[in-house]
Amino acid sequence: MSFWSTIFGGQKKNASVVGIDIGSSSLKVVQLRRDNGSAVLETYGELALGPYAGAEIGQATNLPADIIGETLRDLLDEAQVTTTDAGVSIPLSRSLLTLVELPRRDNPEEQKTIISLEARKYIPVPVSEVQLDWFIVPEPISEGAAPPSKIKVLLVAVHNDELSLLQNAVQTANVSATFYELEIFSTIRSVIDEPVQPVMVLDIGASATKVYVVERGVVALSHNIREGGQDVTRTIASAHGLAVGKAELLKKQHGFTNADSGYDRKTIELVFSRIFTEARRVLIQYETTHQKAISSIVLTGGGGVTKDLAAYASTFFSIAVRVADPFGKTAAPAFMRPVLEEIGPEFAVAVGLALRKLEEGG
C-alpha cells in the first residue's frame, strides 16, 4: 500500500470524530460530528506540555512517547472526548516537504518510475528510514495547448522514528488513529477558502514560524523561520524581569494592545518584526519568480497569534492580512463565537484533522 493510503487512509464510520494535534508546546483536541451536512463542534481542549518537561507553559519540548500518551489521555478525559476514532497530526519540523520539477511522461507507470527514482536525490537520509510518497501538482493548461515537458511533484517524507513515536503515544492514550497527516495539510483544510489565487499562511508555532504559499489547494512553497512564540515570551521576560510563565500569560492576554499590558509593546515588536520582515522577503521572492500576486495572508498557529497582531502585520505587507478562524467551518452556539474566534488559530490543525475525518465518513 502507498504512504498516502496507509498514513492518510480512512476507515469505519462513527458518529463523532476527534482531531489530535501533537505539537511541541501543547496538545490540542477537537471533537466534531456530522449533522445534516454541518460539522458540529462537540468539545475541544488544550494542555501545555512545558510543565511535563520541567519548562514553562508555551515552551517547546521533546518528550518521549509514553509521557505524550499519558498527557493526551489526561486531556481527552478533561475535554470529555467521547470517541476514540481519531486523525493525528505529523509535525512539519519532523518531515520533509519539497516541490520539484521532473520530466513529464504520458505513460503512468513510466511517470511513477521516474518520480520514485528522482525522489531519492532530495531525501537527505536513506530511503529505508522514511515513509515516502508524492503527488503530481495539477497545472492549468490552456485549451488546445500542448502539455508542458515538465511536471511539478510534491514530495513528502516522514521519518520512521517520528511515526513510531506518534503511534506509541496514541496507543498509550487508548486512541484508534485511522490516519496521520502532515499538519500543513490540516491547516490548509481549516483556514484556506480561496480556491485559485495564491495565499500565504504564516503559522506561528512555539519554536518556529512556518511560511507556506498555497495555490489551488496545493503547497507551492514552504519556508521555515527559526523564531516563534516562545522567543516573544522570552523577550518580554528578559526585558521586564518577569518569570517566563507570567510573560506568556501577559502576551496571550494583551498582545499588541497598549492598555495595562505590563510590558512595552516595542518588546514584542523586536521578534515579530524579524518574522514579518523575512516573510515579506519570501513573498516578494515568490511573486518575482512565479510572476503571480499573492492575494492575502492568513495568520495561524498557537505560539504567537496575539491580539491586534494582524494590524501590526499589515504594516509589513501591502495585501490583506487576517487571523485564521477554523471554528468558522463548524456549527457552534452563537454565544461561543467570540471565544472560538480568539482561540481559533491555536486549533487550526486539530479542526482540520477532524474535518478530514468527517469527509472520509468518520
User: Distance (Å, rounded) from C-alpha 11 to C-alpha 206?
Assistant: 33
Same domain for 59 and 133?
no
Same domain for 215 and 333?
yes
Residue 92's CB is within 10 A of a number of other CB atoms, namely: 21
Domain harbouring 285, CATH code: 3.30.420.40
Same domain for 143 and 198?
no
Give SS3 for 331.
Answer: strand
End of a domain among 109, 142, 158?
Answer: 158
User: Distance (Å, rounded) from C-alpha 360 to C-alpha 362?
Assistant: 6
Question: What range defines the domain where residue 127 resides?
Answer: 95-158
Give SS3 for 194.
Answer: coil
Same domain for 134 and 228?
no
What residues in the chain have per-residue pLDDT under 70? 1-14, 258-259, 303, 362
Q: What angle do CA 236, 240, 246 make, to 5 degrees?
A: 60
User: pLDDT tens digits, residue range 313-359?
Assistant: 999 999 999 999 999 999 999 999 999 999 999 999 999 999 999 98
End of a domain among 140, 158, 176?
Answer: 158
Same domain for 31 and 107?
no
Q: What angle do CA 2, 137, 184 make, to 5 degrees?
A: 70
Same domain for 81 and 106?
no
Same domain for 228 and 350?
yes
39 Ramachandran zone, left/alpha/beta (phi>0; psi -120 to 50): beta
Report the DSSP beta bridge partners of residue 223: 211
Same domain for 351 and 269?
yes
Same domain for 40 and 83?
yes
Domain harbouring 119, CATH code: 3.30.1490.300
User: Distance (Å, rounded) from C-alpha 159 to C-alpha 176?
Assistant: 21
- Count of domains for the chain: 2
Same domain for 222 and 165?
yes
User: Distance (Å, rounded) from C-alpha 68 to C-alpha 49?
Assistant: 8
pLDDT value of residue 264? 86
Question: Which residues are within 8 A (CB) of 222 and not within 5 positions of it... i.e. 6 or more apart?
Answer: 92, 97, 98, 99, 184, 210, 211, 212, 213
User: pLDDT tens digits, residue range 113-137?
Assistant: 988 888 888 888 888 899 988 878 8
Same domain for 70 and 179?
yes
End of a domain among 158, 180, 203?
Answer: 158
pLDDT value of residue 176? 94
The predicted model scores a pTM of: 0.89
Same domain for 232 and 332?
yes
